[in-house]
Amino acid sequence: MKSKIISFLLVAVFSIASFSAAQQTNYPTKIINGIEYYIYTVEAGEGLYSISRKFGVSQSEINIANPQIHEGLKAGQEIFIPKTTDVVATTSAQAVEAVEFITHTVERRQTLFAISRKYDVSQELIIQANPQLRERGIQAGDVLRIPTNKKTVASATPKPAVSATPTVSTERTLHIGADGNYITHNVTQGETLYSISRKYSVTVNELKQLNPETTDGLRAGTVLKVPFKSGSSDSSATAVTTAAQVTPATTTAAPSPRQESKIKSSYKIAYLLPFMTNDKNDPTAQKFIEFYMGSLLAINNVKSGDVKFEIYSFDTEKTESKLFEVINKPEMQDMDLIIGPAYTAQIPILADFAKRRQINTVIPFSSKVSYLDNNPYLFQFNPDQETQNDYIVELLKGNFRNSNFIFVETGNVRWTDEGMNFFGYLKQRLDKQRIGYNSVQSAALNSGWSAHLSLDKKNIIIFDTDDYKSIQPLLTNLADENNRYDVGVLGQYSWRNQNGKKPKMYYVSPFAGNKLGTLFYEQEFQKYYKNKLPLINPRYDLLGYDLTTYFLSLINKNGFTFNNSTQNLNFNNGVQSNMNFRRTSRNGGFLNHKLYLIEDAATTR
């Protein structure tokens, strides 16, 4: 880990308050045991995931603060949301807090989100300590100042009002934090320490160590801490490390090189996806169901000879606690391949599990995979933002080098990727290559584009935002200029499915962009599912088909065994996507580098 302590400062308590959007609202607050919380009323249709995103805290933190929600959220229910400030107002007379700053050198593909999780500090506090990040985002090689509190103030949780009826929920909630890593278990009538220890594959002594109050007996309604083990057979002394603590410096030693083994007659494959079986109305589930449908077609079509595949599917929903519950199922411990999960917040937990159990794991959707450089069992399909940016720079230097580049500053910078300002990065790289460009304020375009477009060159437009709605009027105006000028916009892939007039558009994506698969695939899809074919880009069923086809071919070829000398894995027979997986480091996993430049013709309506 490239970090060291550099200084100690005394600062006023209120000077290091966080300025996140949630904290500038007028939600009422309450201080309980020295910790400040928002009092938030759940709205109709809201889930724990959306609330956690709204306030910038983890679902686990909300669960810990609100034991009463383990049975589910209800509209109108009041819950506590921990404020994300590193120091909260208290009734004590103490006016200062010792703050320790450390330095961190940003590594390749590392995001601000990953760094904030690594040091257990909010992204906003890191930005406050490094104000240059507001202008250009994070870049490999940057040396950042990371503020950390010398005094831990977050160990206490609010105590709910005493109810005449003890809580009997058996929902297991994952806690990952600086004060330890464990899951909570609500004791029901008749349970004993022994029965609970058997349920979670821990010892009675381990339970007693985490819960010293149990020496006086166990009562229904008691909330117990249970050691986090990720299904490991190790003792609790070595098995409690989780995503919040795994760093290049503190992670367990890298697994030994994979040993070549004979091809087995049967392989177990698990799909960990948010099918949302408990919420049939969740619209996000459809694309993951389609992904699974395509995967099953690949499994059905593979020419495996005597090799058999046992397929397991698990609904991971959207929470870390649900994923933890899944990976601790007995059948998960000896999988040969895992495909999933869908949500970035769940990845560190599954990555840790995959490394401990030495199970190859394919991450299909997220471009932000923590600790890929230190986990040889991970395969990241969606290239990270840095890889995409490097690809785009090469395009600008090659295919479009003599173009008229126009960077449009809208003032509505809203990049969804933590720590990578695509707009600023491209300008910086063009400066280094001595490639000229023009910067234009969007307000100056109200009178038209003509003054800024070139008649004898291709015009490439790049906006400083990924918010389609804010630039849609400008795209409409550009579309009207297509007859006079050669115009193209370098856009976000998500804009492909947006309606409205557009000029010629260029997109960079790991998907080839076809709405239709091969004739054989479409016939197979209709044969087995009799469904209307999905016609949105990208097609998740084709992604499931391509990924599964490739990894099954690796299993058939060599039993999915390869050693540390393997640096590249290529697949060139995809329907929607080919793949070029490259190992990220000596003991790292694989990142897909295959990208496509997609050109869409201008649309007039």
- HSE at residue 2, side-chain half, CA atoms within 13 A, is 13
Q: For the domain covering 3-149, report its CATH number.
A: 3.10.350.10
| Pairwise CA distance, residues 286 & 160, whole Å | 37
| Pairwise CA distance, residues 594 & 577, whole Å | 8
Q: Is the pLDDT of residue 384 over 60?
A: yes
pLDDT in the model for residue 515: 79
| Residue 180 burial (10 A CB sphere; 0-12, 13-18, 19+) | middle
Q: Which residues of 394-410 are buried (b: 16+ CB within 10 A; e: fewer)?
A: ebbeeebeebbbbbbbb
Q: Which residues of 221-257 are buried (b: 16+ CB within 10 A; e: fewer)?
A: bbbbbbbbbbbbeeebeebbbbbbbbbeeebeeeeee
| Pairwise CA distance, residues 203 & 215, whole Å | 15
Tens of pLDDT, residue by residue over 425-484, are 888 888 888 888 999 998 888 788 988 999 999 999 999 888 888 899 999 999 988 889
Identity of residue 413:
V
Contact in structure between 574 and 320 (CB atoms under 8 Å): no
C-alpha 497, offset from chain centre: 22
Residue with tokens 């976000």: 492
CA angle 229/231/232 to nearest 5° reads 70
| Pairwise CA distance, residues 342 & 320, whole Å | 12
| Pairwise CA distance, residues 95 & 86, whole Å | 14
Per-residue pLDDT band for 305 (boundaries 50, 70, 90) equals low
Contact in structure between 475 and 501 (CB atoms under 8 Å): yes
As a whole number, mean pLDDT of residues 328-352 equals 91
Q: What is the pTM of this model?
A: 0.60
The strand order across the sheet containing 78-82 reads 29-32, 35-41, 78-82
pLDDT in the model for residue 303: 59
Contact in structure between 384 and 591 (CB atoms under 8 Å): yes
Q: Is the pLDDT of residue 597 over 90?
A: yes
pLDDT in the model for residue 421: 66
Q: Which of 126, 143, 146 has its CA nearest to residue 134?
A: 126
Tokens of 523: 């016939």
| Pairwise CA distance, residues 315 & 274, whole Å | 5
| Pairwise CA distance, residues 539 & 364, whole Å | 13
Q: Which residue has the higher pLDDT, 532 or 96?
A: 532
**Helical segments of 235-313, H only:** 236-239, 285-301
Phi, psi for 580 (deg, rounded to 5): -135, 90
| Pairwise CA distance, residues 252 & 446, whole Å | 58
Give the three-state DSSP class for 361.
strand
Spans of all domains in the chain? 3-149, 173-227, 266-383+520-530+541-588, 386-509
Q: Is the pLDDT of residue 299 over 60?
A: yes
Identity of residue 488:
G
Tokens of 541: 């069923």
pLDDT in the model for residue 181: 58
When mean pLDDT is compared over 165-169, 270-274, 279-283, 390-394, the highest value belongs to 270-274
Contact in structure between 405 and 437 (CB atoms under 8 Å): yes
Q: Which of these ranges, 199-203, 205-209, 306-310, 405-409, has the smallest mean pLDDT?
A: 199-203
Identity of residue 174:
L
Three-state secondary structure of 392-453: HHHHHHCCCCCCEEEEEECCCCCCCCCCECHHHHHHHHHHHCCCCCEEEEHHHHCCCCCCCC
Q: Which residue has the higher pLDDT, 533 or 422?
A: 533
- Per CATH, the architecture of 386-509 is what? 3-Layer(aba) Sandwich (3.40)
Intrachain domains 266-383+520-530+541-588 and 386-509 with the same fold: yes
Contact in structure between 435 and 467 (CB atoms under 8 Å): no
pLDDT in the model for residue 84: 60
| Residue 95 burial (10 A CB sphere; 0-12, 13-18, 19+) | exposed
Contact in structure between 297 and 524 (CB atoms under 8 Å): yes
What's 173-227's CATH class?
alpha beta
- HSE at residue 47, side-chain half, CA atoms within 13 A, is 11
| Pairwise CA distance, residues 153 & 35, whole Å | 7
Q: Could you tell me what percent of the chain has a pLDDT over 90? A: 25
Tokens of 331: 């059948």
- HSE at residue 215, side-chain half, CA atoms within 13 A, is 4
CA–CA distances in Å: residue 158 to residues 68, 162, 167, 303: 12, 12, 16, 57
Q: Is the pLDDT of residue 534 over 70?
A: yes
Q: Which of 456, 472, 501 has its CA nearest to residue 600?
A: 501
132-137 own/partner pairs: CB under 8 Å, 24+ apart: 133/419, 135/424, 136/421, 136/424, 136/425, 136/428, 137/415, 137/419, 137/420, 137/421, 137/424, 137/425
Contact in structure between 102 and 146 (CB atoms under 8 Å): yes
| Pairwise CA distance, residues 280 & 191, whole Å | 33
Tens of pLDDT, residue by residue over 181-222, are 567 777 877 788 888 877 776 788 888 888 888 877 788 778
The H or E element containing residue 123 is helix 123-129
Fold of 266-383+520-530+541-588: Rossmann fold (3.40.50)
Q: Is the pLDDT of residue 135 over 50?
A: yes
The H or E element containing residue 309 is strand 308-315
